[in-house]
Amino acid sequence: MNFLPFLIAKRLHFKENKNYTVLLISILSKIGISISIFALIISFSALNGFQILLNKTILSTFPHGIIQLTDKSLLKWQDIINELKMFPGITYSEPYIVANGLLVVKNKVKPIEIKSFSNIEYLKKTLSFSDNKNNFLENMHHQHEIILSSYLLKYLSIKKGDWINIFFLNKNDNHISSQIRNFSLKIVGVFKSNGMLNASMGYVPFDFFKKFFYMDNKIDAIELHMSNPFNADKIILSAAKKINKPLLTYTWIDSYKYIYHDIKKIKTIIYLGLLLLVIISCFSISSISLMTISKRTREIAILRSMGANNFLIQLIFLYYGLRSIIIGNVIGLFIGIVTILNSKKIIFFLEKKFTYNILIDNIYYNNFFLLKINISDVIIIFTSTIIIGIITNYYPAYYASKINPSKILKEY
């Protein structure tokens, strides 16, 4: 590899540092590139982290798939679960029952969504409990017990062990006067709510619904949990083909895929917007290259008279322009990566120094802020910046290669 163009470009760069006007423009351009690259890598990392937390929140709160029985299915929910026990891709299945109610504590009323559960061990895996020991779950055999979100306990000023009243709408009764039913339930567990998706949720044993609301022949939905939720559509279709009965199927992707499409759109918009700042900074470097060429025509003419061809001249001034772009690029990436890797320490410092902070106290910040860096994002940002630098600095390099040495040397 011939380093001659690079060494000549380096020498020109150090000579130009004596010109304070050009030096100031060069420094400001590098700062502009560094800030743009820093903003790009932080924005990408924030979106990556947001998507990870969103996946964790949605996939831990809602079933990955639902199989709905029809009148023509001629099957019971027990038959479906037996069919799916050893099905590849499905880790767990249970009857899916959800009811809406009103939680009443003293003078406070809060709408609540109550969901059934059959397997306590699986509930431990899907929810994050405030009590790390989870000893209360081992003894949860009574029907009049409930697990609530930490948000509801804070909102209603209640604690674990308290008794609460929940009013249900009984859909099975035909008499209007008997539609509303009241139950007293004991709070035996508290799980940490992830934002608003599961903030107003409670979990009660399946036997509670089975005894007070539903009979076995009335349960017509089964929820599925999968090893790879992002292949939920393929897995649930394969399961429906195996059962080979008329069924209605849908997955979490049907309801929430627009969120992921929006994240990709936002990521593209941010990338294009900040890339425009990088382009502007690169054009500043390009203008510096043109200024350098206009002042170094004599050196260019001497190089041409010594046998330097057009390609060598182009490489010299291409390296000259790219030098500042690469420096700004590396500085921006370095500061961004260091910030991301130490984000928890920075957040802890901000929480310690600023007790009342609009950003830190925000619910979306608390539940959906995570910086996650991907190597692919770093490569894309670095490569695209270099490509932009080559494009914006090509004209100055091409202009330098077209300088006629005979005309220049005649002036001297």
Q: What is the pLDDT of residue 335?
A: 92
Same domain, 175 and 312: no
Give the dihedral sign, CA 291/293/294/299. Answer: positive
Residue matched to tokens 């292949």: 231
Asked if 77 and 219 count as a contact pair (C-beta separation under 8 A), the reply is yes
User: Which parts of the chain register pLDDT below 50?
Assistant: 1, 136, 173, 175-177, 362-364
Please say which residue of 236, 252, 268 terminates a domain. 252
**225, 230, 236, 238: CA torsion to nearest 10:** -130
Q: What is the pLDDT of residue 279?
A: 79
389 contact partners, CB below 8 Å, separation of at least 6: 282, 285, 321, 322, 325, 326
Same domain, 369 and 286: yes
Count CB neighbours of 131 within 10 A.
12
| Count of structural domains, the chain | 2
Same domain, 239 and 122: yes
Same domain, 228 and 136: yes
Same domain, 69 and 51: no
Same domain, 41 and 102: no
Termini Cα distance of the chain:
35
**pTM, entire model:** 0.61
User: Residue 340: phi, psi to the nearest 5?
Assistant: -65, -45
Please say which residue of 228, 252, 276 terminates a domain. 252
Q: What is the pLDDT of residue 381?
A: 85
Q: What is the pLDDT of residue 334?
A: 93
Same domain, 39 and 181: no
Give the pair of three-digit tokens for residue 53: 């937390």
Domain containing 72 equals: 65-252
Residues 23-33: b if buried by 16+ CB within 10 A, e if exposed:
eebbeebbebb
Q: CA of 298: how far to CAs of 81, 192, 198, 307, in Å?
A: 85, 72, 72, 15
Q: What is the pLDDT of residue 245?
A: 82
Please say which residue of 235, 252, 269 terminates a domain. 252
Same domain, 228 and 113: yes
Three-state SS string over 202-258 comes to EEEEHHHHHHHCCCHHHCCEEEEEECCHHHHHHHHHHHHHHHCCCEEEEEHHHHHHH
Indicate the SS3 state at residue 190. Answer: strand
Same domain, 190 and 294: no
Give the pair of three-digit tokens for residue 49: 């982290």
Q: How do 98-105 and 108-117 pair as beta strands?
A: antiparallel
Same domain, 404 and 303: yes
Same domain, 233 and 265: no
The percentage of the chain sitting over the pLDDT mark of 70, rounded to a whole number, equals 75
Amino acid code (one letter) for 384: S
220-270 pLDDT, tens per residue? 888 888 888 878 888 998 888 888 888 888 888 777 777 767 777 877 887
Question: CA triplet 294, 295, 297: central angle to 5 degrees?
Answer: 70
Same domain, 157 and 180: yes
Round to whole Å and give the CA distance between 334 and 408: 43
How many residues does the structure list for the chain? 412
51-72 pLDDT, tens per residue? 777 766 667 667 888 988 887 7
User: Residue 349: phi, psi to the nearest 5?
Assistant: -65, -45
Distance of CA 387 to the CA centre of its chain: 27
Asked if 16 and 323 count as a contact pair (C-beta separation under 8 A), the reply is no
Indicate the SS3 state at residue 148. Answer: strand
Residue matched to tokens 């429906």: 240
